[in-house]
Every structure is written in structure tokens, then in C-alpha cells.
Amino acid sequence: MKPLPPVGVMLLDTAFPRPPGDIGNPETFAGGALFETVHAATIGRVLTGDPRDPDLAARFLSARDRLVARGAGIITTSCGLLVFHQERLARDCPVPFTASSLFQVPLRQAQHGQVGILGLLGGSITPAHLAAAGIGGAVPVGALADDAHLLAVLRANSPEVAIDPARATQDVIAAGQMLRARAPGLDAIVLECTNLPPYQQALSEALDLPVYGFLDWLQALNDGRARPDGGLTAQSVTGIAR
């Protein structure tokens, strides 16, 4: 695998803690990341507002340009639900831009077969999100339980409300187990939410399945195995057997 270039991350306007593995923690990239917070891009606005909000799109566009000017070699966002902004933000961008980890689903389907998606909130990943990410057919989607500890911390949205790593890990494993119970033929899981990868390895071990997060997606793009909008390349499944 080729080393990643400096990764530019457009962060939502949040205040919750981000442990190593989270897209907003510099340790996740071994210091090789640049961050720009998109002010007024709150979780509520992304989840319940106009998915093509022109004001929000303009704010992301400005953040994208600042990251390019600072030397980012690849750019992404901190929320997998921002698939609707892919075309506009990728247009005229001098470096690869990918809005969401969801775009890797076709690659993982080509590699493994049946893929499930795990998000944060039930109902947040809609058929429109899947369509915008180029995901066709029936794809099982799961989420954390509404009373999960990790969800409570993120909803509090305060640096003073800490994440209990053990409880958060159990939240994610339980969500993965529920997803697999509904789709017992799963061959792999993609994490839509960029707050879930701190628990990615534990989930993979608990389910004995490959689990992919945003960092895996950025690496696949950097290695030429897919395009930023999810399109496959000639290298997509090279050397990988079903």
C-alpha cells in the first residue's frame, strides 16, 4: 500500500470527544492530516436539514479550498451522510475528493459478496443516501441501539462528557450482531459513520468478518482500487478472491 498523502478532513461543527481511530483525532493519521471545521454544519442540520442545502454546500466548498491551499493531497468529510455533496465538491478539485465511506460499498461487494452497512442512528441512512452512493439492490443497514452509551455521549456534544471505551465497544458489537442476525449471509461490513472506527477491530474480531472504515476507503483510493465516487477501476479486485 502506498503511504497516504496529507489527508484534508472537513469536520462537522461538533464538540464531543474524538478518541484515536475517529476521523477527527490527529493520531488516527499519525499526524498526517489537516483539519477544517465547517462552522454551522451541525449534526442536526446534516441529519434533518435539506441534504443539498446551498449555504452548507458553500461552506464545505470554502473549507475544501482552504485544505487544498494548505497542502492536502486527498480530501474527505467527517460524516458519511454527506454523499449528496460529492459531485459539487469534487468538481474542479485539484486533488481526489470523496464525501463518504459509503462510496466504498461497491468495491467491498466486488471483493467479498454480501456487504452490510453500519451507521450511527437508526433511519439516518436512507434509500436516497444509498442511491447517491451508487449502491444498488437490497443492502442490509444497521445502527446502534437508541439507548447506546456512545450515542448518549455524541448527543451531549461536550468535551466534558467522556466516552467509556468498553461500553462504546459493546454498543458497536451489539449493533453488528443485530445486523448479522437480520442478514446471516453477510461477508463484510462497511462503517458509514466516522465515529465508529475506534471500535472497528473489536467488531471484526467479534463477528469474524472484515470490517471497513473511512481509513480503508482512503487507502483504497490512494492505491487506485476505486474512484472517489465509488466507481470501480481495473485494480478493484486484483489479487482478491471471493
Amino acid of residue 86: Q
18 and 110 both lie in a single domain: no
The number of folded domains in the chain is 2
Q: Is residue 1 one of the residues assigned to a domain?
A: no
Q: Is residue 227 one of the residues assigned to a domain?
A: no
16 and 95 both lie in a single domain: yes
33 and 119 both lie in a single domain: no
Residue 36: pLDDT above 90?
A: yes
CATH number at 163 reads 3.40.50.1860
Q: Is residue 207 one of the residues assigned to a domain?
A: yes
143 and 195 both lie in a single domain: yes
74-77 and 97-98 strand pairing: parallel
Q: Give residue-wise pLDDT tens across range 154-169.
A: 999 999 999 999 999 9
Q: Is residue 2 one of the residues assigned to a domain?
A: no
- Of all residues in the chain, the percent with pLDDT exceeding 70 is 98
Domain extent for 30: 7-101+217-222
The residue among 38, 126, 26, 43 whose CA lies nearest residue 89 is: 38
14 and 95 both lie in a single domain: yes
Residue 120: pLDDT above 70?
A: yes
Question: pLDDT class for 242, splitting at 50, 70, 90?
Answer: very low
Residue 64: pLDDT above 70?
A: yes
14 and 69 both lie in a single domain: yes
91 and 106 both lie in a single domain: no
* CB environment 160-196: b (16+ within 10 A), e (fewer): eeebeeeebbbbbbbbbeebbeebeebbbbbbbbbbb
106 and 96 both lie in a single domain: no
145 and 44 both lie in a single domain: no
- Residues 181-185 have a mean pLDDT of 97
Sign, CA dihedral 11-173-239-30, equals positive
| Grid cell listed for 139 | 443492502
65 and 143 both lie in a single domain: no
